[in-house]
Every structure is written in structure tokens, then in C-alpha cells.
Chain A
Amino acid sequence: MIDLGERAFMNRLAALIYSEARILIDLHKEKGHEVVLMTSATRYQAEPIAQALGVDNMCCTELEIVAGRITGNATPCHGETKKAAAQRYAGNRSTELTDAFFYSDSCDDLPLLEAVGRPVAVNAKASLAKIAEARGWPQLAFVAQGELPLIAT
């Protein structure tokens, strides 16, 4: 599964990483912020992306493995469970979600978006864009994939 995830990353996903995301991650890290990938994807899918972006921390859907075999059961990281994972993460570091940022595209993530102090809608689907606009949340559109669109100023 690890090999499978890495192949998927190399074959497909690496080229789809947004350059804007790289910039924001680097900027947050410069500020001493702790960057965490929060995803409903599995570790096998998400870990290569996190590594490519220099993100050391991740909460994701964890697959149950018994005696070396994936059983099909999983602990999801989605919606309310994603919010709970973020609360646990912040709690373990004695920080508050009200001080945290969260970047997301979807209303699926509304529980966590509403819990953090700095919600940011990225490439927001229409339903989230409407909410973000009503609540005055920042809205960003990322368009640049891979390394090519970055040009020196």
C-alpha cells in the first residue's frame, strides 16, 4: 500500500500540487506556525504529498490492519471527526482552535472551519463560497500547479 501510494503520487499527484499552497505553507512555517495536513484520505495517499510539501504533521483516515492485512474497517477523518482530530491535536500542544487557521474547499469541513479562529475558503465550492462571503471569511482561488507557473520577480 505504501508503494501504491508513492506510485500514485509520482504518476499523478505531484504535478497537481498548487504552487500557492507551497507558498502559504512556507510562510506559515516562517512564522513559527505548526502546519498540519487534515484529510479524509488515507495515510498511503496523503503521506507522499505531506513529505513533498515539508509538512511533518498529519491527521488522516486510518485503516485498520490486523495481522498484516487491511480489514476494511477504518477510523475516518471527515466532518465532525476531522474537527475532533484537530481538537485533540491542539489540546496535546496546549493551544486553542480559536488561534488556529484552517484552509478548505468544502462545506464538508464546516465543523472545523467554524471552530478555528482563522477559517479560509480555498477554491470554495459554491455552497462554501456563499457561507464564506456571508461570514467575511477570506476566499482564495489557487490555479498554479507544479513548479512551472512560479516565476521570479
Chain B
Amino acid sequence: MRIDFPGRRGPLLRKVFSRYVEELQVLPACPGVVVYFDLDRTLISGYTITSLAWEGFWSGISRLDGLLLMPGYSSAGARDGRRIMICYAPLPVRSPKRR
């Protein structure tokens, strides 16, 4: 399988990705190596934000469904690092600028 990268930079992005895949493919099998993946903007294009937020948000727990499904919702700021809210913001991904 290969990936059809769209847009003007498609061929370059495809080439970089293909080269990286080729490097991985030639690595010897090595059980036990751990591979960590971040989620937001790494595995998915968008955010499943777990934001540190105002304590009062939990009083609105009944509205969480709406928050999760509301496109473009952005998070409130952090206060103490212990109270959180979860929300979801399917924002578009910007590719790194061409250098």
C-alpha cells in the first residue's frame, strides 16, 4: 500500500514518509522495544482535549455530551492541575511550513 498525498507538497511528503518507512522496514525485528504514540494531531487530525480547567465545569457534567460533539470547541485555562474537563475540537492540521 502507499499513500496518495494530496496538494502541491504531496510528492515531497510522500517521499519523506516513504523514506522513513523504508528505514523502519530494514530494522531487525526487536521484541521488547516500546513505541509510544501521542494521540492528538499524531494519530488523529484534531484534538481530544483533556484540558485542565475551571473547577466549576464539573457542575455542568450533564452537558458533557454536547461538549464532546461540538466542533471547534476550545478549552478553558488551567487552574490547579487537578480539575479537568474533556472536550473535543476537530481542528485542521497545518503541515510544517516549507523551509
Contacts and interface: CB of A to CB of B under 8 A. Distances in A.
Please tell me the size bucket of the interface on A: 35 or more
Q: Is the interface of A mostly helix, strand, loop or mixed?
A: mixed
Given A100-B36, A151-B4, A8 B68 contact: yes
B77 interface: no
Contacts, number: 240
B27 to A, nearest CB: 6
A86 B36 CA distance: 8
B42 A21 contact: yes
B48 A34 contact: no
Q: Is the interface of B mostly helix, strand, loop or mixed?
A: loop
B2 A123 contact: no
A22 to B, nearest CB: 9
B41 A106 contact: yes
24 contacts: A4-B68, A16-B46, A18-B42, A23-B3, A31-B27, A37-B43, A45-B50, A61-B50, A70-B61, A72-B82, A73-B82, A76-B50, A101-B35, A102-B35, A102-B36, A105-B42, A109-B38, A116-B36, A129-B97, A140-B20, A142-B42, A142-B45, A143-B10, A149-B4
